[in-house]
Structure 1
Amino acid sequence: MLRRILTYASESGDIPVPITIDTPRQRERDWSCAYEIGWPDGPRRGFGYGIDATQAMLLALKAIGTDLYTSDHHRSGRLRWGKPGDGYGYPVPKNIRDLLVGNDAEYEG
């Protein structure tokens, strides 16, 4: 299992936002890679699916990036990994790269 912790700066103090990624698992016809984002208002679980383990993990990483960058927590400007405004270190699909900030925009945009 992989784990990264982002931080959400709420009015009552910092709240950890853990992100976990499970090891890809082979299914009958494809692979799946589960992930979970521990949002302050409740966890969000999702999956990446691919023809092999690498593709399943890559698609899970892009799904995490999409969930982060399209969230109200991101739009509030209070979500961070490291310095505020530096991004979260996850890739996103091409069609939402305009949402990237900080290092994410510099390296992925």
Structure 2
Amino acid sequence: MLILTHTLYLNRPEGEIPIAIRIYRPEPKDGCWACTFEIDWPEGTKTMSGAGLDALQALVISLQMIGIQIYTSTYHHDGALRAYDNEEGYGFPIARNVRDLLVGADKIYL
């Protein structure tokens, strides 16, 4: 079951392209919990899952995985990606070992 969506925008010469992110309800799987998410990159939808000992841990890990996918993308590196009109950042937390990649409000609050 889909529990939330978020949209990023990719700046291209022909205009902005929406990049949809979908996060699904964590579910029990193989003795743990898994939280599936999808990112609709221009080259195709990337589907992954974060796993944890409980539903909350699976959700938090999935949110961090999404943040890492965004911050390590060539679109972020090229400066062509945005989430908000007047603010840098994407609204997703990332793990401590890659915090140096954070920008804007993410750098302050996450």
Normalised to the residue count of structure 1, the TM-score between the two structures is 0.95
Q: Give the residue type in structure 1 aligned to 2:22.
A: T
Give me the whole-angstrom Cα distance separating, in 1, the residues matched to 2:38 and 2:108.
26
- The percent identity for this pair of structures is 41
Name the structure 1 match of 2:37: 35
CA RMSD of aligned residues (A): 1.1
1:27 Cα deviation from its structure 2 partner: 1.8
Name the structure 1 match of 2:90: 88
1:85 Cα deviation from its structure 2 partner: 5.5
Give me the whole-angstrom Cα distance separating, in 2, the residues matched to 1:38 and 1:84.
23
Name the structure 2 match of 1:25: 27
Where structure 1 has 5 or more consecutive residues not aligned to the other structure, the ranges are: none
Where structure 2 has 5 or more consecutive residues not aligned to the other structure, the ranges are: none
Structure 1 moving runs of 4+ over 4 Å: none
Q: Give the residue type in structure 2 aligned to 1:93.
A: A
Which stretch has the larger CA shift, 94-103 or 81-90?
Answer: 81-90
Give me the whole-angstrom Cα distance separating, in 1, the residues matched to 2:38 and 2:55.
18
1:86 Cα deviation from its structure 2 partner: 1.1
1:43 Cα deviation from its structure 2 partner: 1.1
Name the structure 1 match of 2:18: 16
1:54 Cα deviation from its structure 2 partner: 0.2
1:40 Cα deviation from its structure 2 partner: 1.1
Corresponding residue SS for 1:64: helix
Normalised to the residue count of structure 2, the TM-score between the two structures is 0.94
| Residue correspondence of structure 1 range 1-109 to structure 2 within 5 A | 1=2, 2-83=4-85, 86-108=88-110
Give me the whole-angstrom Cα distance separating, in 2, the residues matched to 1:56 and 1:18.
20
